[in-house]
Amino acid sequence: MSSPSRFIVLLIVVLSLVITFFHLWVFQKDPTHIVLEELYYIPILVGALFFGLKGALITWLFVSLLYLPYFFGPWAIGFMGMADRILHLLFTGGFALLAGYLIERDKKNQKQLEKDRYLTGLGQSAATIVHDLKNPLITILGFARRLQAGKGNPDTGLQTIVDSASKMEEIVTDVLNFAKPVHLETKEEDVRIIVEQAAAWCKSKAEAARISLSSELPAEPVIISVDGLRLQRALTNLITNAIEASPEGQEVLLTLKTDQEKLMIMIKDQGIGMDRETLENIFIPFFSKKTQGTGLGMAITKKVIDAHQGNIFLRSQPDRGTEVTIELPFRKRDP
């Protein structure tokens, strides 16, 4: 039995004993009124909520055992009193059966819903992956058959095949990165260098799109324990998204700030922004409104940030740009 389960069992036992104690105390003051017996419904309900039908019935048997002395000796106060106590046992037993059955049925329905949701998501994911792999595969087969038949320019055909195969490799890599758990290899690093390296990876893409990529970083080192490679990849993905969303001639700004408790990395663009639907679903795997990509980039990024015990927030409006903020735990060092 797990520790939480032991705690609940102990709670039920203690609660039942406390109710019995006060029940006896009140009964000794006024034997004609038993005003606390209805409180036995509470531990029965707790047993049902946490352990289902079996828990409810076991709890009912336990509280009924505690209640049995009131049928004998000085506690027996006539036919009506006995009838009242028998009805109490019957009603609490009926309550235990009903509550346990309903809660157990609800739990089974929840499990079935989760299973159905998982299978639906799995089917959607498989369909998305197949769809994304299908187009480059068709291209590869098409150009390979043309080359086999001696048609077309061999150099162009081979380059197209290589590009399509690279696209398929990218899709497979994204799926594998998302599917496997994140195991961080942390060490103390200067986050400024990680941000600069991510910006350097995206520099050529920004130049090709005629986007200005700039950064505002602290003058002093910002040292935290982090998996620098994974964080760099997450930042690269966010910077790439910002570049792709920005019109020609605009700026993507990277900012690094700290306070006493957290480190903040912000990526701000002046691009097309996102509507409410996109913002609400941006971290859902395979959700994407782009014509290219698997829709896994943001989901993988969030997994990396979550693994660092951090948070990621987005603020965006259509045609007004997007600002992504990553918050990581941080404690300033004494000078």
194 and 323 belong to one structural domain = yes
Q: Are strands 251-258 and 212-216 parallel, antiparallel or unpaired?
A: parallel
72 and 197 belong to one structural domain = no
171 falls within a domain? no
200 and 299 belong to one structural domain = yes
155 falls within a domain? no
What integer pLDDT is reported at residue 109 of this predicted model?
87
- The last residue of a domain, from among 90, 110, 130: 110
Domain of 104, in residue numbers: 3-110
Place of tokens 């350097």: 200
166 falls within a domain? no
Instruction: State the Cα–Cα distance between residues 137 and 141, nearest whole angstrom.
Output: 6
295 falls within a domain? yes
106 and 192 belong to one structural domain = no
Assign 254 to helix, strand or coil.
Answer: strand
Instruction: State the Cα–Cα distance between residues 42 and 21, nearest whole angstrom.
Output: 15
pTM over 0.75: no
Place of tokens 């922004």: 273
119 falls within a domain? no
Domain count, the chain: 2
Give the relative orientation of helices 154-179 and 297-307 as an angle to the nearest 10 degrees.
Answer: 40
Give, for all 335 residues of the chain, the pLDDT tens digit.
667 788 888 888 888 888 888 877 776 666 555 556 778 888 999 988 888 889 899 999 998 888 777 766 565 566 666 777 788 888 888 999 999 899 989 888 888 887 777 666 566 666 666 766 777 888 888 888 888 888 777 878 788 888 888 878 877 777 776 777 778 889 999 999 999 999 998 898 899 999 999 999 998 889 999 999 889 989 998 999 999 989 999 999 999 998 888 999 999 999 888 888 888 888 877 766 665 666 677 888 898 999 999 999 999 988 889 999 999 998 766 55
197 and 92 belong to one structural domain = no
Instruction: State the Cα–Cα distance between residues 287 and 300, nearest whole angstrom.
Output: 12
Q: In this structure, what CATH number is given to the domain that contains residue 214?
A: 3.30.565.10
- The last residue of a domain, from among 57, 92, 110: 110
Distance of CA 27 to the CA centre of its chain: 51
What integer pLDDT is reported at residue 266 of this predicted model?
95
What integer pLDDT is reported at residue 243 of this predicted model?
92
Q: Are strands 187-190 and 223-226 parallel, antiparallel or unpaired?
A: antiparallel
Distance of CA 160 to CAs 68, 132, 134, 254, Å? 84, 16, 15, 35
Token pair for 316? 């965006």
The backbone torsions φ and ψ at residue 190, rounded to the nearest 5 degrees and listed phi first, read -85, 115
98 falls within a domain? yes
58 falls within a domain? yes
Instruction: State the Cα–Cα distance between residues 151 and 197, nearest whole angstrom.
Output: 44
315 falls within a domain? yes
- The last residue of a domain, from among 68, 86, 110: 110
